[in-house]
């Protein structure tokens, strides 16, 4: 059974490091809260009752389970996908903002990046508290100020046409084992001219500072989905 949300976005709360302000930033834009396994413990500690808790329940505490109505708990056992994947499968929403999926454990951070790539038909933004990370759609326009850090990281060899970058990517083959696109930044483009990205495959992660959440969200909501996804 899926939790259906017609217009509002959903905040997905994991059990990872929660940077100051990240949860409030997410819920200010996506006010419906879904806890991902041990994220339920974090939610309760913040004085919040999640609408849904999803996961294999290997990290939620018995006390948290007892405090949350059973009807709001969706146990999805199995080790073939992550709890992040399980939460996305359980929620139908126009977009999701994910916090608590990065931090001290690098394996959890990498797993979160993989979840973005496995779900190219979803609009999902991970907020680390310092940076936003999202899978670049086939065409994306962002109204970013000049000098904004915009990092690109390919998960497979691919090309990405672009405009408005200090170091253009047109004609380059980006490759996780070769040339990547981290620490790029926006150029001094003309007023009103957005930065554009057009990767050839759903395997390019983009990262910008967390303060630009509204700009990124507007761009992603206006962007097309990957064809056939």
Give the SS3 label for residue 21: coil
What's the farthest any 2 CA atoms get from each other in the chain?
56
Question: pTM for the full model?
Answer: 0.94
Q: Considering only CA atoms, which of 52, 41, 50 is closest in space to residue 1?
A: 52
pLDDT in tens, the chain (229 residues): 567 665 789 999 999 888 889 999 999 999 999 999 999 999 999 999 999 999 999 999 999 999 999 999 999 998 788 999 999 999 999 999 999 999 768 888 999 999 999 999 999 999 999 999 999 999 999 999 999 999 999 999 999 999 999 999 999 999 999 999 999 999 976 666 899 999 999 999 999 999 999 999 999 999 999 975 5
What domains does the chain contain, in order, with CATH numbers? 3-129 (3.40.50.10240), 140-212 (2.60.120.320)
Which residues partner with 161 through β-bridges? Answer: 198
H or E stretch at 109: helix 106-118
What was the pLDDT predicted at 190? Answer: 67
Say if residue 136 is exposed, middle or buried (CB neighbours under 10 Å; 0-12, 13-18, 19+): buried
């Amino acid at each position: 059974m899926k939790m259906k949300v017609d217009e509002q976005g959903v905040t997905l709360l994991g059990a990872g490091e929660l940077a100051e302000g990240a949860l409030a930033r997410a819920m200010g834009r996506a006010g419906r809260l879904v806890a991902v396994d041990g994220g339920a413990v974090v939610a309760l500690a913040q004085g919040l009752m999640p609408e849904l808790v999803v996961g294999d329940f290997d990290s939620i505490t018995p006390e948290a389970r007892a405090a949350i109505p059973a009807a709001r708990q969706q146990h999805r056992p199995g080790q073939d996908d992550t709890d992040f994947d399980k939460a996305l499968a359980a929620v139908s929403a126009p977009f999701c903002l994910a916090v608590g999926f990065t931090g001290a454990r690098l394996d959890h951070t990498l797993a979160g990046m993989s979840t973005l790539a496995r779900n190219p038909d979803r609009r999902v933004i991970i907020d680390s508290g310092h940076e936003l990370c999202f899978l670049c759609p086939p065409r994306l326009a962002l109204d970013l100020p000049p000098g904004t850090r915009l990092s690109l990281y390919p998960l497979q060899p691919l090309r990405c046409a672009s405009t408005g970058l200090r170091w253009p990517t047109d004609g380059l083959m980006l490759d996780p084992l070769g040339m990547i696109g981290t620490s790029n930044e926006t150029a001094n483009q003309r007023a009103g001219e957005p930065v554009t990205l057009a990767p050839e495959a759903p395997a390019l992660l983009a990262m910008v500072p967390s303060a630009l959440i509204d700009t990124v969200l507007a761009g992603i909501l206006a962007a097309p989905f990957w064809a056939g996804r």
